[in-house]
């Protein structure tokens, strides 16, 4: 979100309206951070797959002389180095997933906060809610519903990435490896509808100009 289209957090808004507008900006920032982490993870996952597939092409000699053959030691050294590099990349990918989990926990807190705002309005104004919208056309309930949909999409995406993290280092089937990489890169649960929901949220709160 650039400064030209983002008023920032300054202004005369207070209370629930301030919170909703701040949350809209936070959704944008969290989704950007998620994309950067996803791209980083895609690069790491590709390295892991390359390590796994290259290891399959390096076979230890089946026929050994007395002791170890002259070629066995170099091959074992290559294998040990490859295993160490693989472990390092797996650790990096695990760290990426942990950071994504941290982002998701912040998203969950925003969803909870907006549900709390809805409950407060129900207490103040009754079941029909606020008589006039705080911004343009959305009711407070719509903010909560959009946040819930965004959160659910990222929750599903994180579950998928956890699965990929657990499987990609143990898979030797090249076709399956490509499926894992494709799923990580294209993020099936974060589709165009999710991006449209974000744009609607930013427009409603004035972070985007119509």
Task: State the greatest distance between any 2 C-alpha atoms of the chain, in Å, as a whole number.
Answer: 89
Whether pLDDT at 3 is above 90: no
Instruction: Output Rg (C-alpha) for the chain, integer angstroms.
Output: 24
Q: Shortest CA distance to 110 belongs to which of 44, 13, 36, 201?
A: 201
Whether pLDDT at 68 is above 70: no
pLDDT tens digits along 6-44: 334 445 677 899 999 999 999 999 999 999 999 999 999
pLDDT, position 81: 63
- Mean pLDDT for the stretch of residues 156-168: 96
- Mean pLDDT for the stretch of residues 51-61: 63
Phi-psi region of 67 (alpha: psi -120 to 50; beta: other; left: phi over 0): left
* Residues written for the chain: 210
Q: Shortest CA distance to 41 belongs to which of 160, 150, 161, 148?
A: 161
Q: Identify the weakest region by mean pLDDT among 54-58, 77-81, 158-162.
A: 77-81
Confidence of residue 169 (pLDDT cuts 50, 70, 90): confident
- Mean pLDDT for the stretch of residues 168-190: 92
CA angle centred on 71, ends 69 and 72, rounded to 5°: 65
Is residue 197 within 8 Å of 153, Cβ to Cβ?
no
Tokens of 108: 């969950």
Q: Which residue has the tokens 């449209």?
A: 196
Tokens of 188: 């099936």
pLDDT, position 80: 61
Confidence of residue 89 (pLDDT cuts 50, 70, 90): very high
- In order of 72, 74, 170, the CA distances from 77 in angstroms are 9, 5, 21
Average pLDDT, the chain: 85
pLDDT, position 76: 55
Q: Shortest CA distance to 164 belongs to which of 144, 151, 179, 186?
A: 179
């Amino acid at each position: 979100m650039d400064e030209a289209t983002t008023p920032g957090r300054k202004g005369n808004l207070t209370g629930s309206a301030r919170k909703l507008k701040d949350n809209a900006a936070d959704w944008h920032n969290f989704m950007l951070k998620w994309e950067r982490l996803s791209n980083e993870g895609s690069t790491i996952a590709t390295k892991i797959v390359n390590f796994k597939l290259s290891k399959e092409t390096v076979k230890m000699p089946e026929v050994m002389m007395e002791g170890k053959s002259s070629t066995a030691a170099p091959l074992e050294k290559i294998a040990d180095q490859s295993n160490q590099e693989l472990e390092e990349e797996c650790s990096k990918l695990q760290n990426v997933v942990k950071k994504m989990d941290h982002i998701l926990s912040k998203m969950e807190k925003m969803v909870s906060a907006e549900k709390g705002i809805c409950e407060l309005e129900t207490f103040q104004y009754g079941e029909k809610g606020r008589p006039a919208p705080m911004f343009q056309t959305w009711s407070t309930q719509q903010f909560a519903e959009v946040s819930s949909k965004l959160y659910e999409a990222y929750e599903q995406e994180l579950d998928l990435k956890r699965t990929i993290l657990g499987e990609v280092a143990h898979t030797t089937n090249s076709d399956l490896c490509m499926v894992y990489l494709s799923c990580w890169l294209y993020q099936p649960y974060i589709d165009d509808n999710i991006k449209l929901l974000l744009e609607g949220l930013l427009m409603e709160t004035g972070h985007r100009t119509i």
